[in-house]
Structure 1
């Protein structure tokens, strides 16, 4: 197995120089095919780690998962085939996974895609097919960033300020304030009506002229009159 380099590419895979130095783990039990794959990957200026055992590849990923950007694995391998390795990687870590196979039948390709493979390449692998595999790393980084932003946004926008979710205590206070306000308005209206009515009634004044008329009537009718 080729030794793993300790240099990290960094969080931002779009930094200047990328994809030079992109870290690839190549897995194939066929040593000849693995050598050809390694040569092509190195030509693309990727850092390459190789192994002929899928179990060993999984152990390496578990120990140093942050040391790899992408995995390329053959499908048909002993102990653990490429599909099982893909499934296990998907459960334990978030890395783009490319499958290799000598067969391009639809069922096999579909199975790889359904299990999470980002690409499915058919042997013999050509250099042109490997030059742009770095795009899967960039896409994965963007998806992870969008998901994190989405979680934050949902947390903020998830605060429901609708009236249905206002605490009952606040609703009760609101109704009391409204009823109190209506009662105050009613009292004000009554006071305005009374004041208006008072202004309409003329004020009675007992002046000298009325007093003289009253005396005249009393003298006319007499003090014993039933009308006085």
Structure 2
């Protein structure tokens, strides 16, 4: 199975060292998130601005494995960041908010977020976020294999991954 192969290929280190970009305009929440992510042994980069996060992602698309973004930020709505990341790069995005309103959660999931965490975030939730990276890699490889075997142009791994993410949430 593909997932088992991915995990076995990287089991000596993964998820230790997973590269996470954390985005939140609230400095206290961002510090707490960073501290908890580091306790999970992830490599963490933080920013309080969504536009800065987008710039970092665009400059080096292979620098991060996963993005965690607050929904409500003054410079750019978290959903807009989610949309741009989905269009421009193939990274799992987890939305973060103090508001657990069902409509807001569903908006995040239907727009491509692989998870939606409520503040304050618990370390137990963060210990499992690596699974989204494995799932994304699994769907990317599966999509690539299907594309190669059918001799058709690659339909877009983001599209295939989005379907998979909706099923797995």
Same fold (TM over 0.5): yes
* Count, aligned residues: 145
Pairs within 5 Å for 1:1-228:
14-15=9-10, 16-155=12-151
**TM-score normalised by L of structure 1:** 0.62
Q: How many angstroms does 1:73 deviate by?
A: 0.4
Distance 1:91 1:74 in 2: 19
Distance 2:13 2:137 in 1: 17
RMSD: 1.2
Task: State the secondary structure of the residue aligned to 2:148.
Answer: helix
Distance 1:29 1:136 in 2: 24
- By relative contact order (CA 8 Å, sep 6+), the higher-ranking structure is 2
Q: Deviations over 1:86-128 (max 9, x none)?
A: 0000000000000000011111001001110000000000110
- Give 1 or 2 for the bigger CA radius of gyration: 1
**TM-score normalised by L of structure 2:** 0.83
Task: State the secondary structure of the residue aligned to 2:120.
Answer: coil
| Poorly superposed stretches of 4+, deviation over 2 Å | none
Q: Structure 1: give runs of 5+ residues left out of the alignment.
A: 1-11, 157-228
